[in-house]
């Protein structure tokens, strides 16, 4: 029975792949870019897909291997699609700095059912318009208002970690992920979900599972065609999850919009509002968008929902990755941890007071620690761009229609720019040691027009969390080697294992 049902569908999928393959093989991009660059051998229909394995762990290992074999600029066919891997700052700069080739690759379209075409996935006029609207909400004076949230949620994190102090190694990533979710819910929507206390929150569970489905689909070419994915159990499950996520977003937007309508005295440029007892209350990212709309910005409910969901999606997992790897790096490098702690002691002494924005700016060495962590373990290890126009770099023609994979995970370990690249050395990022380095050799937050709009927010959050943990606990190695996996972000298989000891 199942044969008669699925065999015609399988044959149709195969036919589509064959047609796509020959269209691409005969394309200008293939003839000029694909045939000019070195890369692994391609087989008919599947290209070099077998070279890269079937899991996120295999993919990361093999991308590194292919670069070592064929150079920092090479090509690979993935089924009918031509990818060019670029891990040299000289070649990367024209792509990141371009104001024309800013289109994300087709893989990002898998996020559209959830995120729509917000700042992450849009391009052209819509992207430029959204970027212009959203940029002012990340002004430093506005970001200062979030330090209280970092501290409040950080105090909860410290309490949750207390049970592990003096005990065996444990996976700290789970705790960090819930901390960043609490922070981003507060910052993006003004919601106090308290997920660190309620791990069974339906919204949080849906957010995690929806992210996992996007990764699964990205690794499964047979799910690329929209109509096939939508008919699959995975597609149907994604639809249900997205309904949960959108219902929450719309509910919060409508409630906050009603509050704003009832509080007509607030100006469109205000970053604070009064609560019921006359105290100043910091506005969330959502409130900024609503104020913009109220002042004549003409954003629809759908437009606002796209950007709130995008901020929720981008703003927690990436920071969770960066934070967890920073803590692990400090645990593995006791001398660096001690130096970071001594810096904090100079700032706070024996005081238990909360960190201020001014305190965060004084954490110069800790900032170097975080930057070095993001060099070795960039939260987003690869960026994908679809070229709309031809680009010629160092005699190499990159033709419109090519998908370019920009690879910070590999480039950050280029020995020409980072000698002894596998060594953890925060001193690389002191002012005197960064002077003269190629400006695109280090791009953990992307670069150019499409750089991460929330990078200052992320750095402040990571400084606040790491400093709070170091003031309370001494970290040591969990004695377990990490196996890295490239999904939407850089992860480890099995978590980040460290030990804690009370400092007080």
Show binding-site residues for heme: 452
Question: From start to end of 165-243, where are the E strands?
Answer: 170-171
CB neighbours of residue 307 within 10 Å: 25
CB 340 within 8 A of CB 365: yes
For the chain, the residue count is: 504
Q: Closest by alpha carbon to 112, among 200, 12, 229, 22? A: 229
CB 489 within 8 A of CB 380: yes
Query: Reduced to 3 DSSP states, what percent helix, strand and coil does the chain have, rounded to the nearest 5?
Result: 60, 10, 30
- How big is the CA angle at 253 (ends 251 and 257), to the nearest 5 degrees? 120
d(CA 284, CA 189): 6
Residue 123 has which token pair? Answer: 């391009």
- How big is the CA angle at 163 (ends 313 and 200), to the nearest 5 degrees? 35
Ordered DSSP codes for 107-171: GGGGGHHHHTTSTTT--HHHHHHHHHHHGGGG-HHHHGGGHHHHHHHHHHHHHHHGGGBTS--EE
Task: Report CA-CA distances (Å) from 56 to 45, 74, 443, 471, 480.
Answer: 22, 20, 22, 35, 20
Residue 10 has which token pair? Answer: 């399988």
Q: What is the 3-state secondary structure (H, E, C) of 288-339?
A: HHHHHHHHHHCCCHHHHHHHHHHHHHHHHHHHHHHHHHHHHHHHHCHHHHHH
d(CA 29, CA 400): 7
Which residue ranges make up the annotated binding site?
452
CB 472 within 8 A of CB 500: no
């Amino acid at each position: 029975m199942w044969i008669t049902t699925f065999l015609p569908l399988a044959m149709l999928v195969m036919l589509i792949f064959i047609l796509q393959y020959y269209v691409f093989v005969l394309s200008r991009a293939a003839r000029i870019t694909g045939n000019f660059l070195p890369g692994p051998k391609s087989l008919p229909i599947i290209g070099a897909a077998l070279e890269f394995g079937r899991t996120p762990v295999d993919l990361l290992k093999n991308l590194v291997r292919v670069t070592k074999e064929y150079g920092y600029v090479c090509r690979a066919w993935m089924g009918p699609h031509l990818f060019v891997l670029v891990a040299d700052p000289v070649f990367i700069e024209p792509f990141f700095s371009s104001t024309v080739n800013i289109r994300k690759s087709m893989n990002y379209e898998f996020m559209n059912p959830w995120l729509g075409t917000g700042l992450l996935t849009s391009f052209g006029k819509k992207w430029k318009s959204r970027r212009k609207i959203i940029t002012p909400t990340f002004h430093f004076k506005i970001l200062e208002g979030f330090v209280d949230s970092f501290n409040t949620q950080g105090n909860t994190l410290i309490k949750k970690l207390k049970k592990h102090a003096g005990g065996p190694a444990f996976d700290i990533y789970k705790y960090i992920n819930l901390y960043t979710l609490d922070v981003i819910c507060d910052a993006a929507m003004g919601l106090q979900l308290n997920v660190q206390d309620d791990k069974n929150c339906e919204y949080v569970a849906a957010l995690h599972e929806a992210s996992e489905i996007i990764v699964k689909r990205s690794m499964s070419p047979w799910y690329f065609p929209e109509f096939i994915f939508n008919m699959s159990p995975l597609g149907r499950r994604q639809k249900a999850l997205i309904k949960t996520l959108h219902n929450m977003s719309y509910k919060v937007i409508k409630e906050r919009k009603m509050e704003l309508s009832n509080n007509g005295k607030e100006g469109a440029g205000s970053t604070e509002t009064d609560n019921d007892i006359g105290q100043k209350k910091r506005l969330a990212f959502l409130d900024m968008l609503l104020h913009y709309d109220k002042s004549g910005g003409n954003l629809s409910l759908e437009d606002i929902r796209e950007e709130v969901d995008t901020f929720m999606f981008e703003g927690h997992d990436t920071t969770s990755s960066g934070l967890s790897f920073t803590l692990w790096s400090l645990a593995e490098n006791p001398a660096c941890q001690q130096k970071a702690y001594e810096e904090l002691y100079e700032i706070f002494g024996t005081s238990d007071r909360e960190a201020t924005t001014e305190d965060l700016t004084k954490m110069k060495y800790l900032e170097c620690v975080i930057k070095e962590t993001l060099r070795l373990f960039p939260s987003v290890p690869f960026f994908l761009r679809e070229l709309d126009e031809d680009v010629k770099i160092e005699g190499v023609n990159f033709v419109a229609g090519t998908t370019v994979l920009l690879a910070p995970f590999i480039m950050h370990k280029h020995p020409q720019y980072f000698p002894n690249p596998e060594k953890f050395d925060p001193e690389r990022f002191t002012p005197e040691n960064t002077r003269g380095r190629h400006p695109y050799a280090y791009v953990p937050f992307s670069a150019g027009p499409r750089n991460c709009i929330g990078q200052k927010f992320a750095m402040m959050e990571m400084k606040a969390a790491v400093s709070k943990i170091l003031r309370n606990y001494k970290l040591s190695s969990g004695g377990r080697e990490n196996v890295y996996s490239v999904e939407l972000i850089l992860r480890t298989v099995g978590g980040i294992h460290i030990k804690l000891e009370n400092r007080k």
